[in-house]
Amino acid sequence: MGDLHVICHEIPKLELHAHLNGSLTETCLKKLKCLDSSIKGYQRMTEVLNKSQRSLSECFEVFKIAHNATNNVEAVFAATQSVISDFHMDHVVYLELRTTPRAGQDMSKEDYIAAVVTAILANPLEIIVKLILSIDRRNSIEQSLDSLNVILKMKLKYPDVIVGIDFSGNPAEGEFNEDLFKKAREGGLKTSIHCGEIRNDEEIEKILKFGPDRLGHATFLHPEYEGNPNNWKLYLEKKIPVECCLTSNVICGTTKSYPEHHIREWIRNSLPHCICTDDKGVFGTSLTKEYTLVAEHHGLKPKDLWQTTCNSVDYIFASDDIKTRLKVKLMNWYNKHE
């Protein structure tokens, strides 16, 4: 195996934690006919973000620009196509895209979801794409229930595309509601819950007890975290796969540095995890970059990265048939590059 960055690019990768509107590049915003002044604002904000650590709340300001650019169905469709194409070019072969259904100019939440699904179904590229729909934590319980009902209705219409539900948004706002996600689970949705992105031991405990299929970030949940040690014990009982997003955590200042990122505990203890981008547009990253960073800062060899990818196949929200196809693809790749 050769040069690290080249290998990281070539490995057929799986992206399991990517927010649609956080993944938009400037090129995509231009295509969406976003105002020049907004694109300049986006450029300025992402440049500032990528030069120094910011607070999470500052990072959340950037999403507003992307949201303004995707407030009609044509733009949502085009944005989805563009993000799928970017991941395909980064050699991602399986993508679980997530997004928060939003009503806008002449657009209902149903229309928003339908636009994303239509773009996924029309995708001609060699990349399998599934959809996870997000509930924004800042919503009231009534608003969240309304979103959930829409999501469940659309799940019945597009059962093969809509596979899961996510709980995300500014972690400083709102709280996890177990009943809501129980209802989602009963409706056939897999659950990926943002957990412990900031210190919040009570919520982490609640989420772990609920037992989602996957956890997003899990930053303040590791053996060296000085918070509630019972949460780590609880985690070890459940061993829920964690979606690790290094650059996002470093830029948002929830992790001090790449070498200190909590992925090291998951690697050291062979705990289930996958490497993800979170918001590749906002944080100026790619899955290839994230793989390279994990290799550089946590001593993983290309074969270990390949193994991490193979392990991730077991955590996806898709059929056994798709899992088998992905494993065959990864095995073939390995045999050619050994």
* Integer Cα distance of 228 and 205 in angstroms: 9
Q: Which of 15, 197, 203, 290 binds ligand 6MZ (CB under 6 A)?
A: 197
The 3-class secondary structure across 59-96, one letter per residue, is: HHHHHHHHHHHCCCHHHHHHHHHHHHHHHHHCCEEEEE
| 197 a catalytic residue | yes
Tell me the two tokens of residue 159.
């059962």
Q: Which of 7, 32, 42, 63 binds ligand 6MZ (CB under 6 A)?
A: 63
Q: Which of 82, 100, 139, 255 binds ligand 6MZ (CB under 6 A)?
A: 100
Residues 210, 214, 217, 221, Cα dihedral to 10°: 50
* Integer Cα distance of 75 and 97 in angstroms: 16
Applying CB under 6 A, does 82 fall inside the site for ligand 6MZ?
no
Applying CB under 6 A, does 278 fall inside the site for ligand 6MZ?
yes
Q: Which of 9, 83, 150, 169 binds ligand 6MZ (CB under 6 A)?
A: 169
* Integer Cα distance of 299 and 117 in angstroms: 39
Applying CB under 6 A, does 136 fall inside the site for ligand 6MZ?
yes
Q: Which of 267, 196, 197, 192 lies closest to 234 in space, CA to CA?
A: 196
Helices (H), the chain: 4-10, 26-31, 36-51, 56-69, 73-89, 109-121, 141-157, 178-186, 201-210, 229-238, 246-251, 263-268, 287-298, 302-313, 320-337
Give me the least distance between CB of 188 and ligand 6MZ, in Å please: 21
Q: Which of 197, 203, 265, 290 is catalytic?
A: 197
Applying CB under 6 A, does 15 fall inside the site for ligand 6MZ?
no
Give the interface segment with ligand 6MZ, choosing from 14-22, 80-88, 117-125, 263-271 (CB under 6 A).
14-22
Applying CB under 6 A, does 248 fall inside the site for ligand 6MZ?
yes
Applying CB under 6 A, does 244 fall inside the site for ligand 6MZ?
no
Give the interface segment with ligand 6MZ, choosing from 19-27, 150-158, 259-267, 326-334 (CB under 6 A).
19-27
Give the interface segment with ligand 6MZ, choosing from 9-17, 18-26, 123-131, 294-302 (CB under 6 A).
18-26
Applying CB under 6 A, does 168 fall inside the site for ligand 6MZ?
yes
Residue 307's CB is within 10 A of a number of other CB atoms, namely: 14
Q: Which of 15, 96, 265, 279 binds ligand 6MZ (CB under 6 A)?
A: 279
Residue with tokens 């907004």: 38
Annotated catalytic sites, by residue? 197
Residues interacting with ligand 6MZ, by CB under 6 A?
19-22, 59, 63, 99-100, 134, 136, 168-169, 194, 197, 248, 252, 278-279
